Chain A
Amino acid sequence: MENKPSDREWKKGSAELLILSLVEARPRHGYDISKLIEQRSRGTLRFHAASLYPLLYRLEKRGWVQGRWVEKSGQRRRRYYRLTPQGRKILASQRRGWQVFVKAINRITEVEHA
């Protein structure tokens, strides 16, 4: 499916936060992450491989997530990403920032409508 331009802008700002949140509870592989984003946003947000993997590698390079090849019996090996302690700190602060940001936006837009 095609992204609308406005979609793209939203995703840019929030993509890191989304990925960090998804690997917070347990390690996940790339395809898993993209499926979860799509499902939990009920199809509003989608990441294709072309934008997802550069993003994952960037997070990995910064040391926020760590990727590891895992082989399970009867399956091909897959690369699982898990949150590092540093990533956990970033996630916490990004969450706070995001909530502040959303609240601020809400307050402004609600006043407009009131």
Chain B
Amino acid sequence: MPDWKEEITQQLAGSKLPPAREAEIVEEVAQHLEDRFCELLAGGATEEKARRTALEEISADKLLARGLERLEHQATQEPVVLGAREKKNVLAGLWQDTRYGLRTLAKNPGVTAVAVTTLALGIGLNTVIFSMVNGLLLRPPHVRHPEQIYTLAAEGNTGGDTFSYQNFQDIKKQTSALFSDMAGVQAFSVTGLSVGGKSERMWTNFVSGDFFEMLGIRPALGRFILPAEGRVAGADPVLVLGYSFWKAHFGGDPSIVGKKALVNGRPVNIVGVAPEGFRPVSTILDTQGYMPLGMAAVDNQAMSDFLNDRQNRCLVLIARVKPGVTEREIQPTLEVIAKRLAGEYPKADDWRTLKAYPLSPIGPNPRAVHSLAVLAALFLTMASIVLILACVNVTSILLARATVRRREIAIRAALGATRGRLIWHLLIESFLLALLGCMGGILLGLAGSRVVSSLPLPTAIPIIMDFSFDWRVFAYAFAVALLAAVIAGIAPALRASGVNLNVFLHEGGRTLSSSGDRLRKILVMSQVGGSVMLLIVAGLFLRSLLKVQRSDLGFDPQHLLNITLDPQLAGYDQEAAQQFVKTALERVRAFPGVQSASLAATVPMGDDSMEDSLEVEGFVSSPGQQAPSAGYNVISPGYFETLHIPLLFGREFLETDTQNSMRMAVINQAMAERFWHGLDPLGKQFRRKEDPNHPLGVVGVVRNSRTDDLYSPMEPYFYMALAQKPLLPVTLQVRTAGDPESMAHEIVATIKFLDPAMPLADVQSMTEALDSPNRLLLFQLGAGLAAAMGIVGLILALIGVYGVVSYTATQQTREIGIRLALGARPGQILRMIFRQGVLVVVPGTIAGVLAAFAIARLAGGFLVGVTPTDPLTYAGVVLMLAMVALAASYIPARRATKVDPMVALRYE
């Protein structure tokens, strides 16, 4: 009997089967051969003949070995069964394609690195922007069931969205069917906190007793303010510290709870610390302390009667809706209550209606939410354009690679891979690229948002920029990556998979199909267009910033030093405090190098401002128009001289104007024009709503100057004499002969000499103060972000233009060679190639300008001094892009002219 196993093993040599599998097959086939051998013998064959026949049946054409090898090593190509539905092993296929894709990417590390970096840039930028939007608009406040919390706004009145304490009590009573709880907050007052002889400024929210209970949170330490506290002026002197304030100023010392402290010189007990991340009133401003509402009444003269005064609207109302009550049910009830209260108190409650808005993370101000949402939409749009530009670059890379890989793909198609499978496979490659890009992007995004979060802000306001990443940001990054994969991958996959082997072999893999060329050019055109659009928006922001920086302030900020003083924070009573300030002013005025000095309640562009409704003699506001109102400041004599604000008519305040003389005001030009229409305003009178018993007589008119922001139209503004309306804190403003910062130290020392314990806040030069957040910072941030995106877009577009021109040049090497051989001059070749660049750049730029017209409208509300169609910006960007892009196409064009005809003709 022949040794069948030996024969079969020889047959299978080289087919690399797993040993155990091979042994099984050998055994089974050997039995078959033996049966066959016996059958042949039984049929009358000789032993030798039977053996040969049996062996031939397995060795012919190496059929067995080949069949097994294919079976064991290759993917199971599911056959299409006649009449059966097509069914696939999706997971196994996915895993196999993923491994294949990774191998392909690893084989081309250069291409992979460029594509991944490009995608990481695009995804990273989107992630940073989104993390900001998330931090400001999306992340719900850290309270129990945040979706149940609403904020109330009074619409159509002169007093803003706020309510008086009496309003609060009435509304709370009348809405008890809708809201399970309602709290009033007097948001963000600056108070002086002193513990153990150390004084600090503390941004405090005065809250009604049920505030914490309504929000349903637990204190980090101690207790919160209790529901019964704060209903009586001055009762319940307790203080709850904000978490980050406690960490920063008390080193997170738990023994702080139970300690005594002074707030504005009055003793309070520190009873607790709020939990970390608890910022229900604003995501941007950090509340450093919470005190009962009743304490606000003893804290501030103007507030002394606010618990009873219906006119004093200083509270923001926050309420928790009862379970099961829908937003639609709330509004009709609120309207009824609004009408009822307006009927009962026509003077105080002069609103049109009441509205409830879901509490947004940015805080209880629906208008701020709206404008932030528009800004967010603008920047997310710009970021998506950058992403699309990045995708287009990757598309170009993949298209180029698809051309290189046509042989591989044609062969795979010929071996039976379906078109769907090829597309799927190529898409997997772009998904892998996008996933790698996503990881890179998240890392870039983390770094970027850390940079934004830690930007030093030139302000004493406790601004928090917490743009940390949470699941929303990661989900967004991942979704963006998936989208990028599809955008970047779909066109190359469709093209590459459509290759026909026959056509390919006939072409010899040399010529480029003209439709691929067209696609590539359209892609680069769209890139040029997109980056033109980004650059125009960035240009508009930059021009706004420049305009704002150069705008005429109406006063001279150079050589001006501000020092804010509040002796009450050091425990002085009203009279002693006034005396201290007066003495300090005299000492500073006598200081060598000081040209003039004066006092003011607020600083132009400062963190505080004052405004009041007015009754103006002889002025009737037309129906439907708001009651007249104006901003004001309270100043000492010498103010206009110190700030270099020119006096146009009349006189300024004098040292001889006192509490006993008639109340007087100096007004600005805008006020003179608004209320007296160019008539002589001197001697005219007006009354403030806050103090109607003391009419103010106009004694002087000064030039308009900037008070609140750098871009709004000039509004009516007036000045009152500090002697007639004593206010604290005040800012001592000093005009110096030299650099104000170098003198700051000596001036501070002069004041400290009077009382070493005097807390001095905001010692800074006026130019420094102008960088405060509500002034330039927004413009700087906007312009910075827009410029970053514009530059990334520009770089991507340049890579695109360079790529398409040099690719065309390479493809045409043979043609160039022939032309040169036939006597073409290099100049002609240069023009021929350069034209390719022009043909891409010009239509792209035109499309970009048109698109910019559309998107710049979104930016319109945030631009100052430039229109969204500012011709200078458009022209500048177009010129710059055209130059740079043409330069990018000049390099490969120039290279093409250096082609050696002999080399080019051999080129394939």
Asked if B83 and A97 make an inter-chain contact with CB atoms under 8 angstroms apart, the answer reads yes
Tell me the minimal C-beta distance from B145 to chain A in angstroms: 51
Q: Which residues of the partner chain B approach A61 to less than 8 Å between Cβ atoms?
A: 71, 76
Does A34 make an interface contact (CB < 8 A)? yes
Is the CB of A78 closer than 8 A to any CB of chain B? yes
State the majority secondary structure of interface residues on B. helix
Q: Are B67 and A54 in contact (CB under 8 A)?
A: yes
Residues 68-91 of A contacting B (Cβ, < 8 Å)? 76, 78-79, 90
Knowing A48-B57, A48-B58, A61-B71, the reply to whether A53 touches B82 (Cβ < 8 A) is no
Report the separation of the CA atoms of residues A101 and B81 in the bound assembly, to the nearest whole angstrom.
Answer: 12
A100, B83: Cβ atoms closer than 8 Å: yes
For A98, what are the chain B residues with a Cβ–Cβ distance below 8 Å?
A: 82
- Tell me if A93 is interfacial: C-beta within 8 Å of chain B: yes
Q: Give chain B interface residues in 37-85, CB to chain A under 8 Å.
A: 57-61, 63-64, 67-68, 70-71, 76, 78, 81-84
Is B25 part of the contact surface with A, judged by Cβ < 8 Å?
Answer: yes
Question: With the chains together, A63 CA to B11 CA distance in Å?
Answer: 27
Decide if B340 is an interface residue (CB 8 Å cutoff). no
Interface of A is mostly: helix
- B743 on interface, CB distance cutoff 8 Å: no
B820 in contact (CB, < 8 A): no
What distance in Å separates the Cβ of A14 from its nearest Cβ neighbour in chain B? 10
Residue of B nearest to A101 (CB): B82
As a 0/1 sequence over residues 34 to 73 of chain A, the CB contacts with chain B under 8 angstroms (1 = contact) are 1000000000000011111111011001100000000000
Q: Which residues of A contact B611 (CB under 8 A)?
A: none
B31 close to A53 (CB less than 8 A): no
A49 to B64 Cα, complex, angstroms: 8
| A31, B58: Cα distance in complex, Å | 13
Closest CB-CB distance, A21 to chain B, in whole Å? 14
Task: Contact check, B58 vs A57: say whether CB atoms are below 8 A apart.
Answer: no
Which of B61, B81, B82 is the most central at the interface, judged by chain A CB atoms within 10 Å of its CB?
B82
A interface bracket (residues with beta carbon within 8 Å of B):
20 to 34
A27: Cβ under 8 A from any B Cβ:
no
- Contact status A93-B32, CB under 8 Å: no
The interface residues of chain B lying within 8 Å CB-to-CB of A100 are 82-83
B29 at the interface (CB under 8 A from A): yes
B419 in the interface (beta carbon within 8 A):
no
CA distance A55 to B68 in the complex (A): 9
- Other-chain contact of B31, A58, A76, A93, A101 (Cβ < 8 Å): A76
| 8 Å CB contact of B60 from A30, A50, A97 | A50
Contacts of B58 in A (CB 8 A): 48-50
Is A103 in contact with chain B by the CB < 8 A criterion? no
A53 to B27 CA separation, bound complex (whole angstroms): 12
Are the CB atoms of B67 and A62 closer together than 8 Å? no
Chain B residues near A96: list those with CB within 8 A: 83
Contacts of A62 in B (CB 8 A): 76, 78
Contact A50 B57 (CB under 8 A): yes
Partner of B64, one of A29, A34, A54: A54
Nearest CB of B to A33, in Å: 10
Contact yes or no, A31 B32, CB < 8 A:
yes
The answer to whether A93 touches B84, judged by C-beta atoms less than 8 angstroms apart, is: yes
A61 to B73, CA, bound (A): 12
Contacts of B61 in A (CB 8 A): 50
**Residue of A with least CB distance to B66:** A54
Which residues of the other chain, B, contact A101 by a CB distance below 8 angstroms? 82
Instruction: Determine whether the beta carbon of B84 is less than 8 Å from that of A49.
Output: no
Q: Find out whether the CB atom of A49 lies under 8 angstroms from the CB atom of B83.
A: no
Q: At the interface, yes or no: B792 with Cβ under 8 Å from chain A?
A: no
Q: Tell me, yes or no, whether B33 is within 8 Å of chain A by CB.
A: yes
Can you sample 24 A-B contacts with CB below 8 Å?
A30-B31, A31-B31, A31-B32, A48-B57, A48-B58, A49-B29, A49-B33, A49-B58, A49-B64, A50-B60, A53-B28, A53-B32, A54-B70, A57-B25, A57-B68, A58-B76, A61-B76, A62-B76, A62-B78, A90-B81, A93-B84, A94-B82, A98-B82, A101-B82
Known: A49-B57, A54-B70. 18 other contacts (CB 8 A): A29-B31, A30-B28, A31-B31, A49-B29, A49-B58, A50-B60, A50-B64, A50-B67, A51-B63, A53-B29, A53-B67, A54-B68, A54-B71, A55-B67, A58-B76, A79-B24, A93-B81, A94-B81
Which residue numbers of B lie inside 8 Å of A, CB to CB? 24-25, 28-29, 31-33, 35-36, 57-61, 63-64, 67-68, 70-71, 76, 78, 81-84
Q: Which 10 A-B pairs have the closest CB atoms?
A: A54-B67, A97-B83, A97-B82, A50-B63, A48-B57, A50-B64, A31-B35, A93-B84, A50-B58, A49-B32
